[in-house]
Amino acid sequence: MELIQVGARTYYIPNATNIGVYQVDSEHVYLIDSGSDKDAGKKNLKLLESEGLQVRGIVSTHSNADHIGGNQLIQNRTGCEILANGIEKSFTETPILEPSFLYGGFPFRELRNKFLCAKPSDVMPMENHLPKGLEAFPLQGHFFDMIGIKTDDDVYFLADSVFSAETITKYHLFFLYDVRAFLETLDFLQTLHGKLYIPSHCAAAEDITGLIALNRSKVREIADGICTACETEKTFEEILAEIFNRYNLTMNANQYVLIGSTLRSYLSYLYDENRISYQFKENKMLWKLL
């Protein structure tokens, strides 16, 4: 792990989930997200301490476990404040909400894992509490009230508003809560003018135009593929299996709830766009292309 400086006060720690670091004085920093688990939290703290820096606070872009997994350990060791926006505050304080939401009921034990359910932490509302030099902006679509952070060094931390070419090529589907909002966020990203852009799961880049286009194209491809699957009446489970088979994906419990929830979001989007409809037959909900 290394601490990379990209502005007078702005740094980041590249990892599976990139961690933003903003220096508020000679000894203290705010983190932007905390990593996937307590081990990530330990490594981040050790790296910062080796640079003579202490964590004063954590700004959570959103409440997915891979972004808040280090919260509890870092807060317990430093007493730092944690800031989160809207619904993300509730999910960060009560992480069982994430697998419960994804599954649509109480999650069975294979879903109560660190990948979907972080450890709880004490959280303050972000509004009026961000340190000077940081600006939050909405990035809806991937999760309920996800935000990005702009530093006064003109560096944008973009959370999960775009996904890497590697992720898209390997998995094709990525988690979305609101498909229309995600597409609108992609349009918004094209209006930004910054020095550097740092998505959570992509390499830092001075230009993300191509990445935006790739994400938009894949969303449209998935939507069209679902419509093709609905040329004949199908249940949700049948559509899910067809999509997995089309992309040679392997089903497991985590993928079932993550991609299953995403598929439901696509079905809602396509229904609201008047591209598909549904009806109930023999106590089954069936989706059909209009």
The string of pLDDT tens digits covering residues 51-105 is 999 999 999 999 999 999 999 999 999 999 999 999 999 999 999 999 999 999 9
Chain length of the chain: 290
Q: Which residues neighbour 155 within 8 Å (Cβ) at sequence distance 6 or greater?
A: 6, 7, 10, 194, 195, 196, 197, 198
Residues forming CATH 3.60.15.10 domain(s) in the chain: 4-219
Decide: residue 84, CB within 10 A, 0-12 exposed, 13-18 middle, 19+ buried.
buried
The string of pLDDT tens digits covering residues 236-285 is 999 999 999 999 999 999 999 999 999 999 999 999 999 999 999 999 99
Rounded-to-integer distance, Cα 262 and Cα 258, Å: 6
Map tokens 């879903």 to a residue: 111
DSSP 63-82: --HHHHTTHHHHHHHH--EE
Give the per-residue pLDDT at 229: 98
Top CATH class of 225-289 equals mainly alpha
Q: Which residues neighbour 149 within 8 Å (Cβ) at sequence distance 6 or greater?
A: 20, 32, 59, 61, 134, 135, 136, 137, 156, 157
Rounded-to-integer distance, Cα 238 and Cα 208, Å: 36
Contact, 57 vs 81, CB < 8 A? yes
Give the per-residue pLDDT at 278: 98
Closest by CA to 186, choosing from 144, 142, 145, 143, is 142
Rounded-to-integer distance, Cα 160 and Cα 148, Å: 9
Residues forming CATH 1.10.10 domain(s) in the chain: 225-289
**Mean pLDDT, residues 139-156 taken together:** 98
Q: What CATH number is given for 4-219 in this structure?
A: 3.60.15.10
Give the per-residue pLDDT at 227: 98
Give the per-residue pLDDT at 257: 98
Rounded-to-integer distance, Cα 244 and Cα 249, Å: 5
Tell me which of 107-111, 127-131, 178-182 is least confident.
Answer: 127-131
Contact, 48 vs 55, CB < 8 A? yes
Rounded-to-integer distance, Cα 131 and Cα 192, Å: 22
Contact, 60 vs 146, CB < 8 A? no
Rounded-to-integer distance, Cα 120 and Cα 118, Å: 6
> Per-residue confidence at 157, pLDDT binned at 50, 70, 90?
very high
**% of the chain beyond a pLDDT of 90:** 99
* pTM for the model: 0.97
The string of pLDDT tens digits covering residues 206-241 is 999 999 999 999 999 999 999 999 999 999 999 999
Give the per-residue pLDDT at 216: 98
Q: Which residues neighbour 260 within 8 Å (Cβ) at sequence distance 6 or greater?
A: 102, 236, 240
